[in-house]
């Protein structure tokens, strides 16, 4: 009899212990669920940590946004044509590890950062996404191939990254200030909104015209500058094919911004400026050709880059034409 009583007591103790464990697991699961948020991405709704601590950015716009809202990521990709992050954000990104390039992710380096959130490019291949998503929740903005550059696309990407970081209020404040600044600068330097301006990236192979829909050109349009016809026709591509020197008249106007990404591009531009076809341009004769940093003007995007572009627009245009 005592043995039977002991057995029943032991069974009851096990049941109580099991119930306690089940309750603890339930509490942990509820707590875990409450500590995550859902973000709508190109790959469906993705659960992300409520307050991510270890962030890796694989897209220049994601790095820009993260720093703009007060989150310094552990890793980032080098800028196109360089070996580190873009110069415009280098000081603010000191200590951030390089984990690959825009199209060359080093998965081992990403994994070594032990991220709890990865912010990636809308152009991330599915095969790359699958590998990244096994490391940490990966945020890829939606991308429509039929309309790759819709209105406000770069701001919307930025807002998505901020949402994933739990910084929606901060990014709203950042863009409110930016919108106000764009309006003020536009009224000051282009009050009649009638000046023609082209943004051209000069590669070693020659000049390519940037679409009016991409980041810096979008800012220029919001400032009231008129894009060349070739730029306004680029609705699905970020830039044109290489122009020959004989076709440079397509980029003539009131202003010409020439961006280079590296030393080879600068050498090619210097050689082109000596050509008669270049010297015949009205904009060259009026000394309104301005060199700008290609990594900022033609590769970057985000609120920090936007403010840097506005800084240079104010400084360079006023200096060229007081």
pLDDT digits 0-9 by tens, 61-104: 999 999 999 999 999 999 988 889 999 999 999 999 999 998 89
Distance CA 111, CA 311 (A): 37
Structure tokens of 273?
Answer: 């400026």
pTM of the model: 0.85
Confirm whether 36-166 and 187-320 share one CATH topology. Answer: yes
Q: Are strands 138-139 and 117-119 parallel, antiparallel or unpaired?
A: parallel
Q: Residue 19: pLDDT band by 50, 70, 90 thresholds?
A: very low
Output the pLDDT for position 239.
94
Q: Write the pLDDT tens digit of every residue in 217-231.
A: 999 999 999 999 999
Instruction: State the CATH class of domain 36-166.
Output: alpha beta
Q: How high is the mean pLDDT of the chain?
A: 89
- Residue with the bigger pLDDT between 12 and 293: it is 293
Residues 6+ apart with CB under 8 A from 72: 66, 92, 93, 95, 96
Output the pLDDT for position 4.
53
Residue 96 and residue 76 in contact, taking contact as beta carbons nearer than 8 Å: yes
Q: In the CATH scheme, what is the homologous superfamily, with its name and number, of domain 187-320?
A: Nitrogenase molybdenum iron protein domain (3.40.50.1980)
Structure tokens of 5?
Answer: 């009583």
Output the pLDDT for position 9.
55
Three-state DSSP class for residue 288: coil
Query: Any idea where the domains of the chain sit in the sequence?
Result: 36-166, 187-320
């Amino acid at each position: 009899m005592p043995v039977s009583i002991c057995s029943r007591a032991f069974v009851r103790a096990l049941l109580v212990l099991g119930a306690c464990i089940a309750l603890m697991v339930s509490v942990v699961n509820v707590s875990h669920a409450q500590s995550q948020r859902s973000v709508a991405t190109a790959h469906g709704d993705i659960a992300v940590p409520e307050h991510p601590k270890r962030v890796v950015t694989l897209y220049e716009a994601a790095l820009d946004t993260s720093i703009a809202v007060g989150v310094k990521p552990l890793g980032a990709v080098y800028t196109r044509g360089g070996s580190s992050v873009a110069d415009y954000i280098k000081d603010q990104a000191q200590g951030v590890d390089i984990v690959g390039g825009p199209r060359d992710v080093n998965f081992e380096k990403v994994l070594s950062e032990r991220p709890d959130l990865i912010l990636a490019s809308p152009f991330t291949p599915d095969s790359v996404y699958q590998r990244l998503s096994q490391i940490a929740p990966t945020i890829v903005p939606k991308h429509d191939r039929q309309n790759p550059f819709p209105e406000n696309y770069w701001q919307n990407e930025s807002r998505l990254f901020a949402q994933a970081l739990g910084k929606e209020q901060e990014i709203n404040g950042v863009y409110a200030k930016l919108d106000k600044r764009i309006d003020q600068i536009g009224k000051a330097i282009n009050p009649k909104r009638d000046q023609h301006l082209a943004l051209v990236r000069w590669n070693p192979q020659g000049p390519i015209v940037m679409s009016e829909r991409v980041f810096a050109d979008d800012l220029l349009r919001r400032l009231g500058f008129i894009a060349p016809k070739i730029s306004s026709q680029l609705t699905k591509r970020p830039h044109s094919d290489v122009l020959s020197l004989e076709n440079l008249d397509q980029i003539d106007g009131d202003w010409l911004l020439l961006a280079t990404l590296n030393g080879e591009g600068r050498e090619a531009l210097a050689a082109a400026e000596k050509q008669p076809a270049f010297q015949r341009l009205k904009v060259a004769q009026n000394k309104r050709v301005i060199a700008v940093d290609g990594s900022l003007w033609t590769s970057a995007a985000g609120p920090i880059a936007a403010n840097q572009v506005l800084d240079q627009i104010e400084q360079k245009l006023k200096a060229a034409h007081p």
